[in-house]
Amino acid sequence: MNATASVQQSMKERQLVISSQLDNVSLVEDFIEQLQEDFQVKEDVYGNILVTVTEAVNNAIKHGNKLDPNKNVTVRAQLLNPFLLTVSIRDEGQGFDPQSLPDPTLPENRLQETGRGIFFMRQLADKATFKENGTLVELTFNI
């Protein structure tokens, strides 16, 4: 692990802190792979976790922290019970209103290059919640 990341863990909780550099998304992928192993996540749910969490981290790095390597993104996973996992992603940005984003399924938005990440989070997680003015995303999965 390089100087831009730190990991903390306990029996039912794991945490990864990375600086806001896109190269660090690979550390998040490794973190999620370790979650699958540690918490016995089913293969099909693992894919959903991988897609949604990496998308949330990408958004946090790019849009939240504006690619500022002096700002961090914190990924925290908690096993709430043997079947329920919550992963939260926190950035140090100004936040946003997730309700104000255009619907990417509308014909006029389908060719846009951005705007699908939150849609995917809402579709692939069992629950996606945006808190603290959008600087905190909580994704819950039945594992």
Q: What is the mean pLDDT of the chain?
A: 91
The DSSP call for residue 122 is H
Lowest-confidence segment of 27-36, 39-48, 60-69, 107-116 by average pLDDT: 107-116
Q: Give every CB contact of residue 54 below 8 A, 6+ residues apart in sequence.
A: 25, 28, 29, 32
The closest alpha carbon to 134, from 86, 92, 74, 105, belongs to 92
| Domains with residue ranges and CATH for the chain | 5-142 (3.30.565.10)
| pLDDT at residue 2 in the model | 44
37-71 confidence digits (pLDDT tens): 999 999 999 999 999 999 999 999 999 999 999 99
- Residue that wins the pLDDT comparison between 28 and 102: 28
71-85 confidence digits (pLDDT tens): 999 999 999 999 999
Taking a C-beta distance cutoff of 8 angstroms, is the pair 65, 73 a contact?
yes
